Structure 1
Amino acid sequence: MSEDILIFGLGGRERYALAVSQIREIVKLGALNQVPGASAHMLGLARVRDQYIPVIDTKAILFRQPRGAQPDLAVVLDEREPIALAVLEVSQVMKATRPLDSQASSHGSFVEGIIQDEDGLIQKLSADDILAVFRCNATAPAGGVQHAA
């Protein structure tokens, strides 16, 4: 299986990827507009060509940690209603020609495969799974997400 992937970083040495087919564009973030009562995973709204797009704190969703440095870039996903993932750096687009290691039991819940290149490992993320967590938290009541016992 061969697909084009976008390689990006969230701060640190780890590298992550998303399928290019899921991406609409990469934008430079300016000042974000805060949204009262929004999910803790939402950094704010970015204005992109006369449209306001929610920007997700990618690092907070993936690692359940508050963000470190303010992200400079966002990857806008090609959804019916655009939504952006905040990233610190975008390094390249590459063709993943080797099969992805997809043994789900050895990966985190957002990782759909591992790719190895000359610089090390790249974790290919599932945009759908990240968005599902964000949407779940965005619609949760003020007390947080309720889990069944």
Structure 2
Amino acid sequence: MVEEQFVVFHLGKEEYAVQISQVKEIINYTEPTRMPASTDGMLGVINLRGKIVSIIDLGEKIGTGSQKELKDKKIIIIDNGNESYGVIVDEVTEVIKLNKEHIEKVDSQIIKGNKYITGIAKKENRLMIIIDLNLLTGEDVL
């Protein structure tokens, strides 16, 4: 059985997971420089070792909100080959291994058009919402 590694994080009271292959690094929260006329969920940009990285509030993007102060959050840096960006999450808790038996596809009626959610993982009496952060396209970031 092929297992894949996932980074588990929290947004509000819910647990989420993203394939580790989508994650470049995880950093402590850094206050972004606000950009005028940016889209909903786009908080601004940070300078990450000389590279400008757009920062997205993932909780706002997927409609969950947040429960932590910004200074206590983490930023997951994603590099999809074309661009780098960061998503703000409440906390990153662990890396776990999941196989296809653990993951169920979600009915589109349940997620109501939320294109980032690709499934639900069930492991050890836990439910984790699987998110594909590569689906955050340039139009979402700009």
> Which TM-score band (shorter chain)?
0.7 to 0.9
Higher alpha-carbon deviation: 15-24 or 103-112: 103-112
What percentage of aligned pairs have identical amino acids? 23
TM-score (norm 2): 0.82
Distance of 1:119 and 1:103 partners within structure 2: 18
Q: Matched residue pairs, number? A: 134
TM alignment of 1:1-149, pairs within 5 A: 1-12=2-13, 14-63=14-63, 69-70=69-70, 72-79=73-80, 80-99=82-101, 100-105=103-108, 107-108=110-111, 109=114, 110-129=116-135, 131-132=136-137, 135-136=139-140, 138=142
Alpha-carbon distance change, 42 to 25 in structure 1, aligned in 2, over 3 angstroms? same
Give RMSD over aligned pairs.
2.2
In the TM superposition, what is the alpha-carbon distance from 1:52 to its structure 2 partner? Answer: 1.7
Shift of 1:107: 4.2
Amino acid at match of 1:77: I
* Greater C-alpha Rg: 1
Show CA shifts across 1:34-68 (max 9, x none).
Answer: 111211211111221121211101011101x6655
Question: Structure 1: 5+ residue runs without aligned partners?
Answer: 139-149
Identify the structure with the greater strand proportion.
2
Residue 136 (structure 1) shift: 4.5
Kept in 2, the 8 Å contact 1:104–1:112? The answer is: no
